[in-house]
């Protein structure tokens, strides 16, 4: 069945790139509404932006959505991952400004608030996107691939020259609260040299050592160090789930990413939807639904994400 949240949730934080303060609310929505953003700082007829793959525009540092009127919202990947991981399929997300608050750089604050508010069934069937054949996109050494699988799993590999990150790989089946326990608290990461470059270009103005893992060679500069030894690859998996959520429905398939990022995952979704033989929309049976992110979540998972 489709789900929404039981009550409105409010978040206050800063935009990662603008540095501007942001207040964002996530509100319940009816069945078949999907996830939709609404900019409250523009006229009502221009402010709605569907959270969908065909509204993504190229942005090297985050996932950026835009509508037909040219109104955009950026850095949507963490809230989208949290909604997917909590099994929320319908919500209206309102904010004044063009960027989702970065919070602590992970999906954890969103997950905690969603599960505290509660997830409400809507009594309408849930449709998923079943991958029928392997589809792959490449760009140099980067690869993103979707292949048939009964549920959703992510297999990710990264490789950085910095010893603090290095080469990391992880495979995870995302059913039964795995996202909450394993990925939700992993923060975005970057190198100090990247921070300096972005700041020189007027970007990352809201970034701090407290909402990102910043490394310099073998050093982790953020206070407290890493939350996981492989926090970097876990965060890339978190991002991938958020970007896959832009399919407009849960995906049944195995996602493989090698040095992939937001743009690669969006290219992959475009390749899937361009090939009618690559996928089909299926009504989830109760047994199929147990294989999706958000299925089988419990208070124990909430405590693990705390």
Catalytically active residues are 262
- For residue 224, how many other CB atoms are within 10 A of its CB? 9
Q: CA–CA separation, 78 vs 89, rounded Å?
A: 15
Q: How many residues does the chain have?
A: 306
Q: CA–CA separation, 95 vs 202, rounded Å?
A: 22
Map residue 136 onto helix, strand or coil: strand
- For residue 248, give both structure tokens: 């407009």
Task: Report CA torsion sign: 241, 247, 251, 255.
Answer: negative
User: Residue 186: CB partners within 8 Å, gap ≥ 6?
Assistant: 106, 227, 228, 231, 232, 234, 235, 237, 238
Whether the CB-CB separation of 52 and 39 falls below 8 Å is answered with no
Whether the CB-CB separation of 302 and 118 falls below 8 Å is answered with no
């Amino acid at each position: 069945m489709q789900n929404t949240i039981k009550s409105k949730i409010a978040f206050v934080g800063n935009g990662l790139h603008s540095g501007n303060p942001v207040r964002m609310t996530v509100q319940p929505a009816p069945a078949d509404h999907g996830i939709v953003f609404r900019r409250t700082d523009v006229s009502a007829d221009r402010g709605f932006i569907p959270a969908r793959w065909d509204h993504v525009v190229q942005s090297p540092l985050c996932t950026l959505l835009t509508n037909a009127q040219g109104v955009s919202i950026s850095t949507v990947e963490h809230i989208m991952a949290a909604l997917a991981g909590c099994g929320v399929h319908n919500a209206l997300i309102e904010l004044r400004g063009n960027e989702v608050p970065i919070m602590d750089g992970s999906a954890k604050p969103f997950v905690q608030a969603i599960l505290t508010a509660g997830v409400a069934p809507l009594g309408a069937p849930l449709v998923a996107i079943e991958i029928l054949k392997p589809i792959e996109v490449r760009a140099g050494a980067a690869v993103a691939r979707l292949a048939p699988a009964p549920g959703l799993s992510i297999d990710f590999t990264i490789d950085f020259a910095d010893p603090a990150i290095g080469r990391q790989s992880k495979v995870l089946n995302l059913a039964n609260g795995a996202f909450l326990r394993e990925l939700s608290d992993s923060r975005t990461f970057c190198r100090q040299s990247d921070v300096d470059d972005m700041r020189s270009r007027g970007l990352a103005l809201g970034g701090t050592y407290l909402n990102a893992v910043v490394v310099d060679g073998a050093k982790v500069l953020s206070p407290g160090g890493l939350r996981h030894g492989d926090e970097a690859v876990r965060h890339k998996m978190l991002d991938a789930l958020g970007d896959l959520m832009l399919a407009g429905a849960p995906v049944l398939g195995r996602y493989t990413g090698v040095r992939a990022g937001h743009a690669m995952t969006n290219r992959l979704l475009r390749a899937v939807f361009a090939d009618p033989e690559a996928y089909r929309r299926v009504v989830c049976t109760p047994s199929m639904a147990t294989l999706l992110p958000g299925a089988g979540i419990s208070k124990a998972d909430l405590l693990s994400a705390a």
